[in-house]
Amino acid sequence: MRCTSGAPSGQVVASGNGNGTNATQLSGPTRWAINVSSWTLLAGDINGKSGNNATTLNHPTDVTFDPMGNMYVVDKYNCRIQLFMSGQTVGTTIAGIRSHAGHDSALLNSHISVHLDSQLDLYVADTSNNRIQKFLRY
């Protein structure tokens, strides 16, 4: 929505076609560029289907990028962090074990966010384990 100061209503500038995965719909966006009517798939299934292989995700909750443009995705329900090299749609699991939640230091359980430090070490908020895990640079 775009609203002007003091206006009682606003104007739809993105979507307006209900929740979904088509090019004219939004499904839980966190940021959208103004006046853009299409999107680019960076990772996951074009039709919004979940999965647990190297090209699909299941409930991604956070994403961050390193200086080289590589993308790190919290793949929550697959219990893993996926690394997608810049321009690639096939990911590599760099933390956690696919579809295996647990308390061991190599496992994740209901993780929700990921961050990189200046050395490219990875920090994961491992929520259900009540901890922050650090994984050294890949």
Q: What is the CATH number of the domain that holds 101?
A: 2.40.10.500
Strands of the sheet with 111-116, listed across from one edge = 111-116, 122-126, 131-135
Give yes or no for a contact between 50 and 59, defined as CB atoms under 8 angstroms apart: yes
Q: Where are the beta strands (DSSP E) in 5-107?
A: 60-65, 71-75, 80-84, 92-96
pLDDT of residue 22: 61
CA atoms of 72 and 93, how far apart (whole Å): 10
Nearest residue to 19 via CA among 29, 34, 30:
29
User: Is 107 inside any structural domain?
Assistant: yes
Q: Tokens standing for 79? A: 């219990």
pLDDT of residue 56: 94
pLDDT band at 36 (very low <50, low <70, confident <90, very high): confident
Q: 0.75 cut: is pTM over it? A: no
Residue 17's domain comprises 1-39
38-53 per-position pLDDT tens digit:
778 889 888 889 999 9
Q: Identify whether residues 91 and 120 lie together within a single domain.
A: yes
